[in-house]
Amino acid sequence: MGDVVGFRKRRRSRSRRRGLLETPWLIPALVVMAVAGFYGRDAISDATGLGLISNSSVAAGRGSFRECYTPLDRTCVIDGDTIRLKGEKIRLLDIDAPEVRDYKCASEKERGDRATLRLVEILNSGTVSIERKGSRDVDQYGRSLRIVQVDGRSAGGILVAEGLARPWSGKRRPWCL
């Protein structure tokens, strides 16, 4: 007799779980949320016609670039020398900017944050062109190596002139003294 009661209790809990999954609105709602999370943030950016084609200009509408918040963000600024354009990671070939994640000191983090925000402003200020240059196409982390220009000016060069980055010398140097 005790087995029958235990069986009924287990059966009831299973039916509750099954009932939740069989709710007619749950699965469609989860699908809509997943699609909106993946595409929704970049729908405006993608509508402006951004695309990565080497040695070409792409029109960047105002506000097309912003800071990256999740790995699902497709067009955004990761840090002062790395962007994501339609899902492709691009490393600005001509500069080295301070780190915002694996920083060695507070001043490096602070300068890296300023470089990131400034790069967002620069990229949103005009027509962005992406140019392949040199023999290396991809770095050790799988990022495309490109010169990024806005209205004919190097985005990296602007950061260097403002003291938020330095010219790339071929190797990383410390930002902390």
Environment class of 157 (CB within 10 Å of its CB; exposed 0-12, middle 13-18, buried 19+): middle
Catalytic residue from among 91, 111, 118, 146: 91
**φ, ψ (nearest 5 deg) of residue 91:** -100, 125
CB atoms near residue 102 (< 10 Å): 8
Surface-to-core class of residue 136, CB atoms within 10 Å of its CB (0-12 exposed, 13-18 middle, 19+ buried): exposed
Q: Which residue, 41, 44, 73, is CA-closest to 60?
A: 44
Q: Which residue, chain included where needed, has tokens 């990229």? A: 123
Record the tokens describing residue 162, joined without a space: 């403002």
99 is catalytic: yes
> 84, 111, 118, 143: which is the annotated catalytic residue?
143
Q: Is 91 a catalytic residue?
A: yes
Catalytic one of 74, 99, 114, 146? 99
Say whether 118 is catalytic. Answer: no
Residues 74/124, Cβ–Cβ less than 8 Å: no
Residues tagged active-site: 91, 99, 143
